[in-house]
């Protein structure tokens, strides 16, 4: 089968399409025929060699994908050959024509959701769900600022928060992105490059501030956004690409909390709960992943350049 292989850490161009033997599922494992693979920023950090978690070389990138079950190993009960699934983790990597998964890493993909949309589910929606419900404990009626709402995690957060009855302010850096943010559920949309946009956020809440901030670029925003938090406000640090200085007094004045999260830390039971909620949302129509770009698997380097560029618009997926 064809798979992207990385033999050394480095620039996107270290990813090459190669022929590798098709994996065979052992006990408790399934083989998925991949119809689309999701590209996440973390895939680029790992490929660069700068991320604390490093796979043994050579490896095939990717945890997210969607397709059909091709074969199952001994003892597999939750899925059968032919089932449509999305993957939430993979043993052999999802940037390939087939990917080997533990049975627990595949989840049903309800029929109206396409395979490309299915590839956009795992990391973005699980992150948004965990940030909203398991980390910040956001409640219906609260104000949520999705700080970076035009990308994979942001769109997922908009759909989840809107379905739950929160009031949402979403940000994006381009006109196209802001249109997407409005269409995906934000009640108010601001430009995170405008000099006065945080004042606008405060004004929108009648100067009260927001209850929850989902932060996609904390090294740029954390120092200034604490001042738009309401009393007992919570910031969830989802993304950060550097260091930042804050004034701790901004948290003291509001009894505010800064909460970090990493999807790698989610315990199994909480992960199962997240995916039960996501499958329900995909079934009942509240969750509809937005795919902005489909790129052939062989062009994976282009996808890694694109996911790190400004002007996000939903998800980038690879098509084997």
Which of 214, 207, 256, 208 is CA-nearest to residue 232? 256
Environment class of 98 (CB within 10 Å of its CB; exposed 0-12, middle 13-18, buried 19+): buried
For every residue of 157-226, DSSP letters joined together read: HHHHHHHTT-EEEEEESSHHHHHHHHHTT-SEEEETTSTTHHHHHHHHTTTS-EEEEEES-HHHHHHHHG
Least spacing, CB of residue 263 vs ligand NAP, in Å:
4
Q: Who contacts 73 (Cβ-Cβ below 8 Å, separation ≥6)?
A: 25, 26, 27, 28, 29, 30
Token digits of residue 254: 């509001």
3-state secondary structure 49-62: CCCCCCCCCCECCC
Which residues of the chain form contacts with ligand NAP (CB under 6 A)?
40-42, 123-124, 127, 147-154, 171-174, 177, 192, 216-217, 220-221, 238-239, 261-263, 307, 310-312
Q: Which is nearer to ligand NAP, 61 or 151 (CB)?
A: 151
Least spacing, CB of residue 312 vs ligand NAP, in Å:
4
Q: Which is nearer to ligand NAP, 17 or 306 (CB)?
A: 306
Q: Which is nearer to ligand NAP, 131 or 279 (CB)?
A: 131
Q: Which is nearer to ligand NAP, 69 or 312 (CB)?
A: 312
Least spacing, CB of residue 219 vs ligand NAP, in Å:
9
Residue at shortest CB range from ligand NAP: 151
d(CA 37, CA 283): 21
Q: Which is nearer to ligand NAP, 220 or 317 (CB)?
A: 220
d(CA 54, CA 59): 10
d(CA 54, CA 66): 24
Least spacing, CB of residue 77 vs ligand NAP, in Å:
30
Least spacing, CB of residue 292 vs ligand NAP, in Å:
9
> Angle of helix 268-284 relative to helix 152-163, nearest 10 degrees?
70
CB 164 within 8 A of CB 141: no
| Distance between first and last Cα of the chain | 10
Least spacing, CB of residue 119 vs ligand NAP, in Å:
13
Least spacing, CB of residue 18 vs ligand NAP, in Å:
26
Q: Which is nearer to ligand NAP, 65 or 148 (CB)?
A: 148
Which of 50, 13, 82 is CA-nearest to residue 302? 13
Q: Which is nearer to ligand NAP, 16 or 179 (CB)?
A: 179
Q: Which is nearer to ligand NAP, 79 or 169 (CB)?
A: 169
Least spacing, CB of residue 190 vs ligand NAP, in Å:
10
Q: Which is nearer to ligand NAP, 108 or 311 (CB)?
A: 311
Pinpoint the alpha helices (H) of the chain.
41-48, 115-118, 122-129, 152-163, 175-183, 197-204, 218-225, 249-252, 268-284, 300-307
Least spacing, CB of residue 291 vs ligand NAP, in Å:
11
């Amino acid at each position: 089968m064809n798979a992207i292989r990385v033999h050394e850490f480095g620039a996107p161009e270290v990813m090459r399409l190669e022929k590798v033997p098709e994996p065979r599922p052992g006990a408790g494992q399934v083989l998925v025929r991949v119809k689309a693979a999701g590209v996440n920023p973390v895939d680029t950090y790992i490929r660069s060699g700068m991320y604390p978690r490093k796979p043994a070389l050579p490896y095939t990138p990717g945890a997210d994908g969607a397709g059909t079950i091709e074969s199952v190993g001994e003892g597999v009960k939750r899925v059968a050959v032919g089932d449509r699934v999305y993957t939430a983790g993979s043993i052999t990597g999802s940037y390939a024509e087939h990917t080997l998964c533990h049975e627990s890493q595949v989840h049903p993909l309800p029929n109206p959701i396409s395979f490309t949309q299915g590839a956009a589910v795992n990391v973005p929606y699980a992150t948004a769900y965990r940030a909203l419900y398991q980390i910040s404990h956001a409640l219906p009626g609260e104000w949520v600022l999705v700080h970076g709402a035009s990308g994979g995690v942001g769109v997922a957060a908009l759909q989840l928060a809107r379905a739950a009855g929160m009031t949402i302010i979403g940000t994006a850096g381009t006109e196209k992105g802001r249109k997407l943010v409005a269409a995906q559920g934000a009640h108010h949309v601001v430009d995170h490059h405008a000099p006065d946009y945080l004042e606008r956020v405060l004004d929108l809440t009648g100067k009260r501030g927001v209850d929850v901030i989902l932060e996609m670029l904390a090294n740029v925003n954390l120092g200034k956004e604490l001042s738009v938090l309401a009393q007992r406000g919570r910031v969830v640090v989802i993304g950060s690409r550097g260091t930042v200085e804050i004034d701790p007094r901004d948290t003291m004045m509001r009894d505010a909390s800064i909460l970090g999260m990493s999807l790698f830390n989610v315990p199994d039971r909480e992960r199962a709960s997240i995916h039960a909620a996501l499958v329900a949302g995909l079934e009942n129509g509240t969750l509809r992943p937005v795919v902005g770009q489909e790129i052939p698997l062989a062009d994976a380097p282009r996808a890694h350049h694109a996911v790190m560029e400004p002007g996000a618009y939903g998800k980038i997926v690879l098509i084997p």
